[in-house]
């Protein structure tokens, strides 16, 4: 038997586009002699469809796509993920299902049993869990069909669940496992994914074919990396990251094993590739073409514009240089040099006259008051207004350049430097931004060296440095990581060696600035705990504040 895995960049709700890609994949698989082709979880509608699932028409169109695939299943088996209606008037209205199509018929359906409700997942909101499990026989082979999370409770050891779907099928002695997945990217997840698949293979002693999505759905990025694992526990093949791909595998060769083929898993490269794809798909899927951002001469905007240029092409990126009376000359020079290095269009608009107009307008009200964060925020909001004006006038989408460290502690101005349609670096700590900058400069100096080595500054008052308001990033970022990603409280952080006063100060900054993050642009997710859907905190909570 020859089995094809189709790793596709689906588009939520784009039934025509998704179906077109799947039909092309079926045709290609047939030409390569495949007996069976497997697509990803909820492939017909894209993942995660969220409240689109509450529309009857959405489900009707999903079913129409299944019907269209059924019509081309002559001479090939097609396994595809789609929502299906629950015929019983009890529980949720829908199942998250895997359809097995062959010779114009549905020869089997397996529903998903383990419905994740953690981090970015909220499947139990929509779906009824499966309670029955059976293999499907196709061309003399028994196939254990499973969907994504259903393989993540090996041996019923995951405390989130009380059933192991594959355990329920093993009495039928299946020949191999098919898993339809929509497994979101984070920079450590590919390793964990292989470990889970290996644990299943070692437990059951049969091959596992795992078909994942690729592409980005706003903030959620899918890395692909679909896997075939042979019974010896070796990765027979791991498909490319962040690319659409179709591969055909001979079951007999997979059964023999003796081969190991994995993709490299360099953290900085993975984050880089994920962000480029995230920008590209955000624009492509929403029908946008051109991006704009403010280029300050600092490292965050420098990294963002390089990533945007890679994603969209230099002809589709425009930058504004908006110096104030507090901007250093080298910042303007560095920004101009970077724009010229990349070949992107740039404009220089000095904000001093506008800032002085605000000072004049508010002179009576601010009489006797010292210069403080108010005047700093006015500058940031002038810049935000200029960027949004250009965005509105020319149809450019504003890219936000705030990094995760700044977003965590509220070191940003609402309606100023926090403006934007998508946040590119909002899940990348400042120390990781430096790693990205060095990675981007590895072959040749694209980002001027001065943007990387100079002390970071918002340049909103004379001689300002980030370190005036924040701990050094090499101390701040590990503390934030332990709090945000690892859920360590103040006692644990202090026991790790962080100073008690610093812990209290930083955790308070994180928690009192939740209202800012609630209003921020969607953040491209590259870590295990990004701001947004995956981290839901109360704005007025008292805990740790």
Task: Show which residues are catalytic.
Answer: 41, 112, 148
Q: Give the SS3 label for residue 533.
A: coil
Phi (first) and psi of residue 43, to 5 degrees: -60, -35
- In sequence order, the 6+-apart residues with CB closer than 8 A to the CB of 23 are 68, 69, 72
**CA distances (Å), origin 274, targets 3, 206, 216:** 28, 32, 9
Q: CB of 104 within 8 A of CB of 74?
A: yes
Rounded to whole angstroms, the Cα distance separating 208 from 230 reads 7
Rounded to whole angstroms, the Cα distance separating 318 from 225 reads 33
Rounded to whole angstroms, the Cα distance separating 344 from 309 reads 8
* Closest C-alpha to 154, from 207, 98, 203, 205: 203
* DSSP-assigned states of every residue in 250-314: EHHHHHH----------HHHHHHHHHHHHHHHHHHHHT---EEEE--SSHHHHHHHHHHHHHH-G
Rounded to whole angstroms, the Cα distance separating 109 from 71 reads 17
Q: How far is CA 190 from the centre of its chain?
A: 13
- In sequence order, the 6+-apart residues with CB closer than 8 A to the CB of 132 are none
Q: CB of 152 within 8 A of CB of 158?
A: yes
Q: CB of 297 within 8 A of CB of 451?
A: yes
Q: CB of 313 within 8 A of CB of 307?
A: no
* Closest C-alpha to 482, from 496, 472, 469: 496
Q: Which residues are registered as beta bridge partners of 248?
A: 4
Would you state the structure tokens that stand for residue 2, as one six-digit string? 């020859």
Q: What does the radius of gyration of the chain's CA atoms come to, in whole angstroms?
A: 26
* Closest C-alpha to 248, from 7, 4, 542: 4
* Closest C-alpha to 133, from 159, 151, 121: 151
Phi (first) and psi of residue 59, to 5 degrees: -70, -40
Q: CB of 418 within 8 A of CB of 412?
A: yes
Given CA atoms 198, 199, 205, 210 in this order, what sign does their dihedral have?
A: negative
């Amino acid at each position: 038997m020859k089995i094809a895995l189709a790793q596709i960049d689906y588009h939520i709700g784009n039934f025509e586009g998704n179906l077109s890609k799947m039909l092309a994949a079926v045709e290609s698989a047939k030409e390569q002699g495949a007996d069976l082709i497997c697509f990803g979880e909820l492939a017909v509608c894209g993942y995660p469809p969220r409240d689109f699932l509450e529309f009857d028409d959405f489900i009707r169109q999903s079913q129409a796509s299944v019907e269209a695939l059924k019509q081309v299943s002559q001479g090939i088996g097609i396994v595809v993920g789609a929502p299906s209606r629950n015929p019983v008037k009890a529980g949720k209205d829908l199942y998250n299902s895997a359809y097995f199509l062959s010779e114009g018929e549905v020869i089997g359906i397996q529903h998903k049993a383990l419905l994740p409700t953690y981090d970015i997942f909220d499947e139990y909101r929509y779906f009824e869990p499966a309670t029955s499990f059976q293999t499907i026989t196709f061309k003399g082979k028994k196939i254990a069909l499973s969907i994504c999370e259903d393989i993540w409770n090996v041996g019923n050891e995951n405390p989130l669940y009380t059933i192991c779907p594959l355990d329920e099928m093993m009495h039928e002695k299946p020949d191999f496992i098919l898993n339809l997945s929509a497994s979101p990217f984070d920079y450590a997840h590919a390793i964990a994914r292989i470990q889970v698949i290996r644990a299943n293979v070692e437990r059951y002693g049969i091959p596992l074919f795992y078909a994942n999505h690729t592409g980005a759905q706003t903030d959620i990025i899918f890395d692909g990396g679909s896997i075939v694992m042979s019974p010896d526990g070796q990765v027979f093949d791991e498909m490319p990251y962040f690319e659409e791909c179709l591969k055909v595998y001979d079951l007999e060769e997979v059964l023999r094993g003796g081969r190991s083929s994995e993709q490299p898993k360099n953290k900085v490269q993975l984050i880089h590739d994920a962000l480029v794809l995230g920008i590209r798909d955000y624009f492509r899927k929403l029908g946008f073409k051109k991006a704009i951002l403010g280029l300050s001469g600092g490292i965050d905007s420098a990294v963002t514009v390089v990533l945007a240029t890679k994603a969209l092409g230099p002809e589709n990126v425009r930058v504004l240089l908006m110096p104030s009376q507090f901007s250093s000359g080298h910042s303007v020079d560095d920004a101009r040099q970077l724009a010229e290095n990349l070949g992107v269009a740039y404009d220089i608009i000095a904000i001093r006259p506008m800032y002085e107009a605000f000072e004049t307008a508010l002179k009576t009200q601010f009489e006797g008051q010292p210069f403080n964060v108010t005047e700093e925020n006015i500058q940031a909001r002038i810049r935000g207004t200029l960027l949004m004006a250009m965005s509105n006038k020319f149809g450019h989408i504003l890219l936000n350049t705030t990094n995760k460290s700044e977003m965590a502690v509220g070191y940003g101005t609402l309606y100023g430097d926090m403006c934007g349609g998508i946040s590119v670096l909002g899940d990348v700590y400042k120390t990781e931004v430096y790693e990205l900058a060095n990675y981007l400069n590895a072959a040749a100096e694209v980002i001027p060296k001065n943007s990387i080595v100079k002390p970071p500054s918002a340049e909103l008052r004379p001689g300002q440095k980030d370190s005036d308001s924040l701990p050094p990033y090499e101390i701040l970022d590990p503390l934030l990581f332990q709090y945000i990603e690892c859920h360590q409280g103040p006692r644990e952080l202090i026991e790790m060696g962080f100073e008690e006063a610093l812990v209290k100060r930083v955790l308070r900054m994180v928690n009192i600035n939740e209202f800012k993050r609630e209003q921020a642009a969607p953040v491209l997710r590259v870590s295990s705990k990004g701001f947004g859907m995956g981290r839901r905190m109360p704005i007025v909570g008292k805990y740790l504040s």
